[in-house]
Amino acid sequence: MFSKISRETFIRSIADLLRKAEIELPDDVIEALRKAEAREENPVAKSQLQAILKNIELAKNHGVPMCQDTGIMIFFAELGTEFQSGFDLEAAIRDAVVLATVEIPLRPNAVNPLTRKNSGDNTGVEIPDIHWKLVPGKKLKITVAPKGAGSENMSALRMMNPTETGSIKHVVLETVINAGGMPCPPLTLGVGIGGSFDKAARLAKEALLEPLDAPMSSFEKEILDAVNALGIGCMGLGGSTTALAVHVKTAHCHTASLPVAINIQCWANRHASVVFGEEE
């Protein structure tokens, strides 16, 4: 059985989803930033957090992207095994990105990695980046997470020795110090441990989608407290909040391996989701 959604309606929904993600932050992210501003005692850091909160409000009121780096488009799709669209979903997502680039508008960020030639519409080889996960059921859930380069560039992947589990926290701290103010703290840190070279990075990125008010494990809390003790603060100018949350995701790995990926997210933890096929 095919879903009732037409290709046109699907494209419209994805373009609207992109607009939402670029202009409005999820409530849990705004709340975490408000709390950070309320508890901050460093006057410079406080002024930076106040500017961020004002910027969030302005972007929403004026309907413009909150950051000029509107990112590259990363999609996480959970496809129900019984969901059938009747059209090429990837091509439709691609068309939605082109449409949104003109409509919202978005900054054209996608370039050929070697010639550096800009495609002009945020698409290109393997981009938008779409991750498919098959799940049971009749629904299709799509989450878009536009990712800016400032934070992505400061992310790290380390193939550690299997006996170095105790050093994972220090690797995260080194990564955060090296990044300083460059990735626009206060940060959210996604840490992927295990799996393989690529799986660890995927886990780290997926960890960034966890709600900021989700309970943290004692390991996550321990890393968060250590990161905040560094005093890097908002924008690297000093202060008590360097990160808002740390989320760790793990996967079993080879006995001789310990891949650790740290994906850094700036304060603008942009993402939005939509579900298709709900009414069936």
Helix (H) or strand (E) holding 129, with range, is: strand 129-135
Which of 58, 91, 134, 275 binds another protein (CB under 8 A)? It is 58
Scanning residues 59 to 88, which ones bind another protein (CB under 8 A)? Answer: 59, 62, 64-70
Shortest CB 259 distance to another protein, Å? 22
* Interface size with another protein, residues (CB under 8 A): 51
Report whether 78 contacts 141 (CB < 8 A).
Answer: yes
Q: Is 30 in the site for another protein (CB under 8 A)?
A: no
DSSP label at residue 166? G
Q: Is 54 in the site for another protein (CB under 8 A)?
A: yes
Report whether 210 contacts 247 (CB < 8 A).
Answer: yes
Q: Is 48 in the site for another protein (CB under 8 A)?
A: yes
Which of 135, 214, 230, 275 binds another protein (CB under 8 A)? It is 230
Taking Cα atoms as reference points, which of 199, 176, 195 lies closest to residue 246?
176
**How far apart are alpha carbons 65 and 94 in whole angstroms?**
20
Assigned token pair, 165:
């589990």
Scanning residues 115 to 144, which ones bind another protein (CB under 8 A)? Answer: 118
Assigned token pair, 265:
């997210």
SS3 233: coil
Helix (H) or strand (E) holding 142, with range, is: strand 140-147
* Residue 115 half-sphere exposure toward CB, CA atoms < 13 A: 5
Q: Is 47 in the site for another protein (CB under 8 A)?
A: yes
Which of 124, 233, 259, 277 binds another protein (CB under 8 A)? It is 233
Q: Is 222 in the site for another protein (CB under 8 A)?
A: no
Shortest CB 244 distance to another protein, Å? 14
Residues that bind another protein (CB under 8 A): 44, 47-48, 51-52, 54-55, 58-59, 62, 64-70, 105-109, 111, 118, 148-150, 153, 170, 173-174, 177, 180-184, 226, 229-238, 266-268
